[in-house]
Structure 1
Amino acid sequence: MSTKALEITLPKPYPLQREILAHSARHKLIVAGRRAGKTVLAGLMAAHYLLDGKQVLIASNTAPQANIFWDMLERWFAPLTAAGLVVRHRAHHTLRLGNGLLTVRTASEPDNLRGFSADLLILDECALLPASIWREVGIPILADRQGRALLISTPKRKNWFFELYIQALRDTSGTWKTWAFSTEENPHIARAEIEAMASNMSEISFKQEILAQFVDASGQVFRNIEQCTYEERYNTYEDYCKTYHDARMALGIDWGRSEDYTALVVGDIQNRKVVYVERFTQIPFEQQLARVVELVKAWHVEIVKAEYNSMGGPMVERLQSLLEGTSTQVYKFNTTSATKPRIIEQLSIAFERVQIQIPRYEEALLHELEFFSVLDTTSTNRYTYGAPKGVHDDYVIALCLWYDIVVNVNIRWVY
């Protein structure tokens, strides 16, 4: 460009990104680990198409993710916007340059993209999007312009994106080209940062999120269960403290509904050792609460964390009232699609690393842990954790809540 005012500075792609950008395949499919450079790669491709006067549509799985693309591209093209060459429409997330138009949208509802036409379609985090985003919506978007596609994602189980990856891998026509690479391929991410991420992930999560490997949709969540068991029986708090003088007790509660159990897990958060478990069903709420209070007193429980959803709300509030004036703190836990996987995965890591102890003689607890799985769901592209049909998971959830206290014992909770 002839003047400084008309220059824009784009990030310099690293070697693998340059290879992908330069390849002539019509459709490119990228399977990559987190922070591997997928977003910058897609942004560079979109920028080049816009500068060439082409129509570009970027579709991400969520509004926050779409905003990352928008903020990045808006920043890159700011000099041309200031010079009046690019027309920016923030409300619509569009940049217009001559005959070129770049649009950023969310794609969680693929039908909202019908009617678009593009020379380049970028589908971001495909594995989290419905299968129809490509087959029923994406392909028609490219039809009238004979457009090209860039599909990028970190794997999320072996869903439709995995099937498309295998199909593209076997393509011999030259239409498709695939790349699969881990986070380590990004030269801008320090090895120490990757190790820090890995330290907070289970083996399955590490394979998927960092190594960019497709993992099975179902399978046992908790490993090394046997290695985490112990034989001793502790009948009372005083009995336990003969061995562990620094004991600090906490209680996790999963309230039962209809045929479910109310499950209680008491454990020493100082030594990460479960000492007592109990469950019951079909008894009045006041009797359940009375039993909880009795257990709190018997085991000198300092902290209680209980599920707050649905019927749990009034139960937690009533328990707080019953324990008012004591030294026991009661915290609520709202179970959501974001919070439940977090507490399950951190417990999974504890079992993997043998950082937790549970009593070997509590067969119901061991049974639930052994059968607790990543469930296969065809209606969503996210992992769903739970027990197979006919198996309870009440102890597992109560154990997760207890272990969440272990992990966050020095953190003040705010919910």
Structure 2
Amino acid sequence: MSQLAKIRVPKFLREAFLDLALIVVIKAGRRTGKTYNWVIWLIVMLDREPDKAGLWVDTKHSNIDKYVERYFRPILTKMNHWKDCNYNQQKKILTLHNGSYIDFGSAERPEMMEGFGYDYAVINEGGIVFKKPSLWENTLYPMIKHAIVRIIGTPKGKNTFESLYHRYKHYSFNCYDSPFWTEQEIQNAKETMTEEAFRQEMLADFIEGAGAVFRRINDNIAGKLLDGPVEGRRYVLGADLAKHSDFTVIFIADADSRQIVYHERFNQIDWGLQKARIINAYQKFGCTSGVIDATGVGDAVFDDLQNAGLNLEGFKFTSTTKQELVSNLSVAMDNGNISYPHIPELIDELEIFAYEQRANGNFIYSAPEGFHDDEVMALGLVNRAIGMRVPEYGGVIFA
């Protein structure tokens, strides 16, 4: 056995840490030590016997290296094992001193986890990763059905995390249980956060619709995508441009019926081809106007598209303009003023898109970490384009 005397786990977590049930679900408020201490748990389990397989699942693939550096390496160093471990950064596999290993996966790229079996597993940030409803049944459970599993996280509304919490052995910890909060810090949080945010983030309560931005998502599903324009109809375009690993998404809507009629989504394509696809969609439907993301490098793309003859508004994303765009889209959906065919990527993004209140009291609107919001932003942009008036005669707008 390793030098575990150097490892400290808070007393309030003792019962959950030592629980022998196969599947245990732990909901916990912010700063309760859930991630750090269940890294310890996974290492201890794999340290007990050689050649065992472990799995750590998180929100975002790009976070894995940070977790290894910030959690796994320091803990293994305290156990005098790090020097005998090997971390394959490309394959995201950490091999321990005794031949046991930990595979790292993410909700962002679940297909990379399928097809393997494990002895021990930790699913981190359950409230976020299970915003993908199919992740448990289709991907995770088949791999870990014979494993000893710990599912940990702070609730994010009501989703699969809540149903698993009620289905299996479970524990709940809040800010009052944690030694990492002072009474004054808790009081400050209570005074600056909304009641809903405090209950969810600090008390770890499951709250229906907490953080949800869009309602009536399914009510607004209608129509179908078209191969080309219908004579006599007016069309507008909205496009969100890819950044890094994101997607470029193009929507075209019938401006009078406010119905989405065209959708395109792609990534890892150079700017020249992206511009060509936007121009092709715009001209194919004879669009009269459009709104396009002009943030950062998008500004140059916007200029090139304007020079190509497209009548576009450039939209620069800031925290303020994004909130305005999202709010307007939310109102349009509440009022049934925009509709779209059943586009799976769009529906998924609308369902998981949320607002979160920061410690300073400000709200941010985004997809959960590890997920995309390109579909939502593009829908917001085309909704803005629908609302724009087009000059009908000599620059005059008739209203």
TM-score, structure 2 as length reference: 0.53
Q: SS of the counterpart of 1:121?
A: strand
Give the unaligned 5+ runs of structure 2. 214-251, 257-287, 304-313, 337-345, 355-364, 366-375, 385-399
Please state if 1:379 is matched with 2:348.
yes
Q: Which of 134, 139, 143 is 1:137 aligned to?
A: 139
Q: SS of the counterpart of 1:184?
A: coil
Q: Deviations over 1:115-141 (max 9, x none)?
A: 222111111112334233322222222
In the alignment, which residue of structure 2 is the partner of 1:165?
Answer: 165
Q: SS of the counterpart of 2:176?
A: helix
- 8 A contact 2:124–2:151 mirrored in 1: yes
State the AA in 2 paired with 1:138.
L
- 8 A contact 1:70–1:104 mirrored in 2: no
Q: SS of the counterpart of 2:54?
A: strand
Alpha-carbon shift at residue 68 of structure 1 (Å): 4.4
- Bigger-Rg structure (1/2): 1
In the alignment, which residue of structure 2 is the partner of 1:57?
Answer: 55
Q: Deviations over 1:358-404 (max 9, x none)?
A: xxxxxx9xx889979xxxx9624623589xx9xx997xxxxxxxxxx
Residues 11 and 260 (structure 1 numbering): CA distance in 2 closer, same or farther, change over 3 Å?
A: farther
Return the alpha-carbon distance in structure 2 between the equivalents of residues 69 and 177 of structure 1.
Answer: 26
Return the alpha-carbon distance in structure 2 between the equivalents of residues 139 and 183 of structure 1.
Answer: 30
Residues 103 and 83 (structure 1 numbering): CA distance in 2 closer, same or farther, change over 3 Å?
A: closer
Alpha-carbon shift at residue 16 of structure 1 (Å): 2.7
Alpha-carbon shift at residue 30 of structure 1 (Å): 1.2
Alignment of 1:96-111 (within 5 A): 96-111=96-111
Alpha-carbon shift at residue 32 of structure 1 (Å): 1.5
- 8 A contact 2:6–2:79 mirrored in 1: no
Q: Which of 32, 38, 43 is 1:36 aligned to?
A: 32
Alpha-carbon shift at residue 102 of structure 1 (Å): 2.2
Residues 23 and 165 (structure 1 numbering): CA distance in 2 closer, same or farther, change over 3 Å?
A: same
Alpha-carbon shift at residue 42 of structure 1 (Å): 1.3
Please state if 1:182 is matched with 2:174.
yes
Alpha-carbon shift at residue 113 of structure 1 (Å): 0.6
- 8 A contact 1:121–1:149 mirrored in 2: yes
State the AA in 1 paired with 2:155.
P
In the alignment, which residue of structure 1 is the partner of 2:309?
Answer: none
Q: SS of the counterpart of 2:352?
A: coil
Return the alpha-carbon distance in structure 1 between the equivalents of residues 321 and 175 of structure 2.
Answer: 22
* Identity score, percent: 20
Return the alpha-carbon distance in structure 2 between the equivalents of residues 341 and 59 of structure 1.
Answer: 34
In the alignment, which residue of structure 2 is the partner of 1:248?
Answer: none
Provide the aligned length of Structure 1 versus Structure 2. 281
Q: SS of the counterpart of 2:27?
A: strand
Alpha-carbon shift at residue 149 of structure 1 (Å): 0.8
Alpha-carbon shift at residue 45 of structure 1 (Å): 1.1
Alpha-carbon shift at residue 154 of structure 1 (Å): 1.4
- 8 A contact 1:39–1:69 mirrored in 2: no
Alpha-carbon shift at residue 62 of structure 1 (Å): 1.0
- 8 A contact 1:8–1:76 mirrored in 2: no
Alpha-carbon shift at residue 11 of structure 1 (Å): 4.3
Alpha-carbon shift at residue 90 of structure 1 (Å): 4.0
Return the alpha-carbon distance in structure 2 between the equivalents of residues 47 and 341 of structure 1.
Answer: 45
Q: Deviations over 1:225-273 (max 9, x none)?
A: xxxxxxxxxxxxxxxxxxxxxxxxxxxxxxxx97889xxxxxxxxxxxx
Residues 63 and 111 (structure 1 numbering): CA distance in 2 closer, same or farther, change over 3 Å?
A: closer
Alpha-carbon shift at residue 95 of structure 1 (Å): 2.8
Q: Deviations over 1:311-365 (max 9, x none)?
A: x969x99xxxxxxxxxxxxx97416xxx479847xx99xxxxxxxxxxxxxxx9x
Please state if 1:89 is matched with 2:88.
yes
State the AA in 2 paired with 1:379.
D
- 8 A contact 1:60–1:105 mirrored in 2: yes
Return the alpha-carbon distance in structure 2 between the equivalents of residues 109 and 165 of structure 1.
Answer: 24
- 8 A contact 1:33–1:154 mirrored in 2: yes
- 8 A contact 1:33–1:208 mirrored in 2: yes
Please state if 1:151 is matched with 2:169.
no
- 8 A contact 1:62–1:107 mirrored in 2: yes
State the AA in 2 paired with 1:56.
G
In the alignment, which residue of structure 1 is the partner of 2:233?
Answer: none
Return the alpha-carbon distance in structure 2 between the equivalents of residues 99 and 107 of structure 1.
Answer: 26
Return the alpha-carbon distance in structure 2 between the equivalents of residues 113 and 157 of structure 1.
Answer: 26
- 8 A contact 2:6–2:78 mirrored in 1: no
Residues 191 and 79 (structure 1 numbering): CA distance in 2 closer, same or farther, change over 3 Å?
A: closer
Alpha-carbon shift at residue 81 of structure 1 (Å): 6.2
Return the alpha-carbon distance in structure 2 between the equivalents of residues 218 and 16 of structure 1.
Answer: 27
- 8 A contact 2:23–2:149 mirrored in 1: yes
In the alignment, which residue of structure 1 is the partner of 2:11?
Answer: 15
In the alignment, which residue of structure 1 is the partner of 2:112?
Answer: 112
In the alignment, which residue of structure 2 is the partner of 1:354?
Answer: none
Query: How big is the alpha-carbon RMSD for the aligned residues of Structure 1 and Structure 2?
Result: 5.2
In the alignment, which residue of structure 1 is the partner of 2:122?
Answer: 122
Alpha-carbon shift at residue 187 of structure 1 (Å): 0.9
TM-score, structure 1 as length reference: 0.51
Q: SS of the counterpart of 1:77?
A: helix
Q: Deviations over 1:72-104 (max 9, x none)?
A: 111211266668543443443413221422232
Return the alpha-carbon distance in structure 1 between the equivalents of residues 335 and 28 of structure 2.
Answer: 31
State the AA in 1 paired with 2:38.
A
Residues 101 and 200 (structure 1 numbering): CA distance in 2 closer, same or farther, change over 3 Å?
A: same
Q: Which of 199, 202, 222 is 1:207 aligned to?
A: 199
Please state if 1:74 is matched with 2:99.
no
Alpha-carbon shift at residue 308 of structure 1 (Å): 5.0
State the AA in 2 paired with 1:188.
F
